[in-house]
Amino acid sequence: MILHIDMDAFYASVEQRDDPSLLGKPVVVGGSAEGRGVVAASSYEARKFGIHSAMSAYRAKQLCPHAVFIRPRIEHYAAVSHQIRQVFEEFTPLIEPLSLDEAFLDVTGSESLLGTASKIGLQIKMLIRERLNLTASVGVAPNKFLAKIASDLKKPDGFVVVTEDQIQDFLDPLPVGRIWGVGKVTAQVFKRFAISTIGQLRQLSRESLTDLFGNSGEHYWQLSHGIDSRPVVPDREAKSISNETTFSEDITDLEDLKAWLVTLVEQVSRRLRNHDRLGRTVELKIRFSDFKSLTRSLTLNSSTNITSELLAAGLELLCNRLPKNHLPIRLIGFGVSHLDQPEMMQLQLFDESEREQQRSLDKVADEIAKKFGKHALHRATGIKKSPSSK
């Protein structure tokens, strides 16, 4: 059994917790409404006004003039995320973090000692509330796909369990857009065939879906039948470590994209260091407004987990390796692979003394994030428009 734990309005909820005067108020975490800031996250009170992540802060101010705008504190959120991770570790070592505020947990091997997966999920919710004064939504299901959908259905503070014999009853009424990979373009194709729910999609044969969508057709067939064989892969066992975020509105501004990239790189590099891993190949993933995706990669001269080196590689890919005059971007992802490769030579961009300085800076930043989140350091590039990780 798999749990998907998703913190509710994480950044905004942390700010409301730390400053009780913000409770009940529309809170927007992001850049300045007077400048070219971008919304990183919003409280549920703010969402009622139509405010969402990746929206311009100026537009958010128009929608809700009395909203409270707060600069992101990414390192502080990372410190809180570490505390949440410690709760998870009391129940299973099989934890696959997706971002600062969500993770998959495989609790199959824990049930004989700690009770059913449902009981474990409820205990985790309770401990997060008691220890951190935050709420989490939990989905419990036989696989990742189902658990992810379940955690999202009754937010905030949701708890949904899907058992093996409930899979089709659970899936069939849901809109076809709930299937991973079905975006606006694919949904329009389904609409032409009068398919709007997963149940209706399930009536199509494997062959029909393959004829329509090629290899993606097999993917849609399996998920519509509730089949997802992907295991939960902890960071220590992963062949790569990555993170990505999908924007509610497509982004065209390069500076905004750089700010989102900064936080993705910081999250990935911290996960590498937490697990004593080095990576040699950096990969940037981009999905455009027409839902076409591309990846660009760069192999470094030596393995590293130094934030500044990974960021330099990521910025090179973002600024110089994408097509000119490309369409607006709806998703950006950053990852590192070829983990634990032996160093072949020093990275030319930094001499060894500077690399040691960068390692020391990363170490200090990690310790500050763990122990003194409220006073955490910020990387200047990301302060103005620090991104959400969702």
Average pLDDT of the segment spanning 350-360 = 57
pTM given for the model: 0.71
Q: How much of the chain, in percent, has pLDDT values that exceed 70? A: 86
Between residues 302 and 20, which one has the greater pLDDT?
Answer: 20
Q: Decide if pLDDT at 376 tops 60.
A: no
Q: Decide if pLDDT at 370 tops 70.
A: no
Tell me what pLDDT residue 166 has. Answer: 95
In the chain, domain spans? 1-163, 174-224, 238-383
Question: CB neighbours of 83 closer than 8 A, spacing ≥ 6?
Answer: 131, 132
Helices marked H in the chain — which ranges?
10-18, 44-47, 57-63, 74-89, 111-114, 117-132, 144-153, 167-171, 184-192, 198-202, 206-213, 215-224, 254-274, 307-320, 352-371, 380-383
Q: Which architecture, in CATH terms, is 238-383?
A: 2-Layer Sandwich (3.30)
Tell me what pLDDT residue 86 has. Answer: 94
Average pLDDT of the segment spanning 114-128 = 96
Find the range with the poorest average confidence among 66-80, 350-364, 366-380: 366-380
Average pLDDT of the segment spanning 21-35 = 88
Q: Decide if pLDDT at 17 tops 90.
A: yes
Answer whether 1-163 and 174-224 agree in fold: no
Q: Which fold has domain 1-163?
A: Alpha-Beta Plaits (3.30.70)
Q: Which two tokens mark 8?
A: 């509710």
pLDDT in tens, 165-187: 999 999 999 999 899 878 777 88
77 in Cβ contact with 14 (< 8 Å): yes
Q: At 350, is the pLDDT very low, low, confident or very high (cuts 50, 70, 90)?
A: very low
* The one catalytic residue among 75, 102, 283, 309: 102
Tell me what pLDDT residue 379 has. Answer: 52
Q: At 191, is the pLDDT very low, low, confident or very high (cuts 50, 70, 90)?
A: confident
Q: Which architecture, in CATH terms, is 174-224?
A: Orthogonal Bundle (1.10)
Average pLDDT of the segment spanning 110-131 = 96
Q: At 31, is the pLDDT very low, low, confident or very high (cuts 50, 70, 90)?
A: confident
Between residues 104 and 361, which one has the greater pLDDT?
Answer: 104
Tell me what pLDDT residue 52 has. Answer: 87
φ, ψ for residue 330, nearest 5 deg: -110, -15
Question: CB neighbours of 329 closer than 8 A, spacing ≥ 6?
Answer: 247, 250, 251, 252, 257, 286, 287, 288, 289
Tell me what pLDDT residue 329 has. Answer: 92
Highest mean pLDDT among 29-38, 313-322, 362-371: 313-322
Q: How much of the chain, in percent, has pLDDT values that exceed 90? A: 52
316 among known catalytic residues? no
Closest to 359 measured CA to CA, from 288, 308, 320, 313: 308
Tell me what pLDDT residue 383 has. Answer: 40
46 in Cβ contact with 64 (< 8 Å): yes
Average pLDDT of the segment spanning 210-216 = 84
328 in Cβ contact with 272 (< 8 Å): no
Q: At 369, is the pLDDT very low, low, confident or very high (cuts 50, 70, 90)?
A: low
Average pLDDT of the segment spanning 263-287 = 88
Tell me what pLDDT residue 23 has. Answer: 96
Tell me what pLDDT residue 356 has. Answer: 61
Tell me what pLDDT residue 157 has. Answer: 95
Tell me what pLDDT residue 364 has. Answer: 63
Average per-residue pLDDT for the chain: 85
